[in-house]
Amino acid sequence: MATEGRPHLALVGGMGTGKTSVGALVAERVRRRHIDLDRWVQADTGRSIGVLFDELGEEGFRDAEQASLERALELFEPIILSTGGGVLGRSSNRDALCTRSYVVWLRATPETAAARVGDGHGRPLLEDGSPVDVLRRLAEERAPLYEAAADLAVDTDNRSADEVADEVSVFLEGRQGAPA
């Protein structure tokens, strides 16, 4: 059974920390629905993330992200939510996430994250310079937000998505008494 008030589990962290792949694995393990917020934003708007940034700018993307986030968090059914790396930038998103979900922060060094995102295709913020430099700058700027929101922080360097998913699933089961 879900804990009253905080039915969901949300994965936060920078680009390339494994939020999407780990989220899918955790969902499988705890038998919950997995939602990837970037995918919901794209489905809700009918546009890719790149097109949203091009047409509406980052603020327009953030408006769409906030709307999709609110919709996901309102679900009664407990979900595993993989967020986008900048979701905690808005205080209303932080409040909504922390009220409705346990928050797990996936961490990776900028070098690990850069290796995972490759050329950064589909991630407009990575077009502003070398991916590793952008990832380092964003990680420094956002670390206080991730830290303040997180119920658990998990380092993902040199670990497979399966290993990270195991740790997150054990955490969730401990919090919610979820079935294995």
Binding site residues, ligand S3P, CB under 6 A: 15, 19, 38, 49, 84-86, 123-125, 138
Number of H helices, E strands in the chain: 7, 5
Which residue, among 12, 22, 175, has the nearest Cα to 93 in the 3D structure? 12
Give min distance, CB of 37 to ligand S3P, in A.
7
Q: Which is nearer to ligand S3P, 132 or 178 (CB)?
A: 132
Shortest separation between residue 57's beta carbon and ligand S3P, angstroms: 12
Nearer to ligand S3P, 19 or 107 (CB): 19
Q: Is 48 helix (H, G, I), strand (E, B) or coil?
A: coil
Rounded distance between C-alpha atoms, residue 75 and residue 43, angstroms: 17
CA distance 119 to 46: 24
To the nearest whole angstrom, how small is the minimum distance from the Cβ of residue 3 to ligand S3P?
A: 26
Q: Toward ligand S3P, which CB reaches closer, 52 or 172?
A: 52
